[in-house]
Amino acid sequence: MPSNSLERWHRERADALDEMESAHAIIGGTQRGRRYAVQQINYGYAALLSSHFQGFCRDLHSECIDHIAAAMPRQFRVFVRTEFVWNRKLDKGNPHPGAVGEDFNRLGIDFWRTVNALDARNARRNQLLTELVNWRNAVAHQDFTAVGGSATLHLNRIRGWRRAVGALADAFDRAMYNHLTALLGNAPW
Amino acid sequence: MPKTTSTRKFRKGDRVRFQLGTRWVAGLVTEDRGAIGMGGRRLYTVEFRSDAAAAPSHVELPADDLRPMPVPAGGR
């Protein structure tokens, strides 16, 4: 059974991202004006993918806190909850691997080492997540220096990022499931 | 497994109170996080100050831990 956060990723968030695929299909073509429109959709798609992945990570972090807090005496729960979200990177910034790791490490797990141990491909997916976030920033600031200088972004590249962060979402869910099961003594979801 | 409260009980902007240790403090719902909590219960982000002079803090709480604050005369 997946976490509520992962279910949301596979349903609501996937639906929103699929809308970008549909928009791409409607606008697609080879004429110059259309190519420009497609490029803008690709920018929007990349930004939305980054945003939804950030939302998933934040949801999963909150869901895990809820489980940890519920295992504590009632009078301590609010203190613990407040501390875990204090200065949380995922509330403010992009889902850069460093930010994701920093937030989840606070829950008592060596996050990326655990995720990478689940599947050898996750290290490469971590790099692809960095690439996605760099592109998201390049689009947001219209400065493409950090992504090699070219402003051209192809749909296949975004689809590759989507597959990568989708696999990471599954891995994050599994890593936190294992961690909370060990920590709390029973399966969280 | 606790009883789930996935239906929306509070909205952004609602004034609430909750127990912080041995006392009750007032807060403001700043976000409905959705039914992502344990057993599908709904979580809310609440901004609060532990005392009048303190900087605002945030906490995510299930609806069962929140109590609505009476609306003052003349609106919210």
Per-10-residue mean pLDDT, chain A, length 189: 97 96 80 81 97 98 98 94 96 96 98 98 98 97 94 96 98 98 97
So what's the pLDDT on residue A25?
Answer: 84
Neighboring chain B residues of A78 at a CB cutoff of 8 Å: 18-21, 59, 61, 65
Q: Tell me the nearest-neighbour CA distance from B65 into chain A, angstroms.
A: 9
The SS3 of residue B33 is strand
pTM for the full predicted model: 0.93
ipTM of the complex: 0.89
Out of A67, A78, A86, closest to residue B20 by CB: A78
Q: How many CB pairs under 8 A join A and B?
A: 55
Mean pLDDT for B40-58 is 92
So what's the pLDDT on residue A104?
Answer: 98
B53 vs A88: which has the higher pLDDT: A88
CA angle A185, A186, B2 (to 5 degrees): 120
So what's the pLDDT on residue B2?
Answer: 46
Residue B45 pairs with which residues in a beta bridge?
Answer: B31, B60
Q: Are residues A92 and A52 in contact, defined by beta-carbon separation less than 8 angstroms?
A: no
